[in-house]
A and B are shown apart, each in its own frame.
Chain A
């Protein structure tokens, strides 16, 4: 199973919005609603921030939002804050397994 495709890096200034894409196929992202996003700070475990494409777990700020169109899912972070600087990973269910994206490093300028 090939990894989902994410941009290696994105950047934005405080207060701006950024979007991270996650491209798969009709066998994973395009075929199921089970797309999640995780935030990982250096040396820490990943944290679930979006599940089932667009749902936020309790405690995750509404600055984080998710969507999907066809085989591509997207994570949007609005009102960027310094603490948002981290690595972000998408994942998707696919035929009895899970596949992650390669990860995107977000830099807050």
Chain B
């Protein structure tokens, strides 16, 4: 099946700093990618839909100025968590769709 990668796989940062997470579709082009967040023992929650060449579409309750999404090419979308705080600590997962939706391995963000 298609492969979606994420980088980094984990990151620890200080409160107030910004963190960028990359999502790449390795063997197919994706005009649309999705970003999810998952807290421990909970389900995945869709944060936003990333559209190549246009603005991302955010789900209700997700701050677009805090979670910046850039989809500059057909194989790369980035999520930047700005001014991160401990409550932003979570597991961030991206996905991209070919025939089915393929998910990346996730990025564990810990904000101290």
Whether chains A and B associate is: no
On A, residues with C-beta under 8 Å from B are none
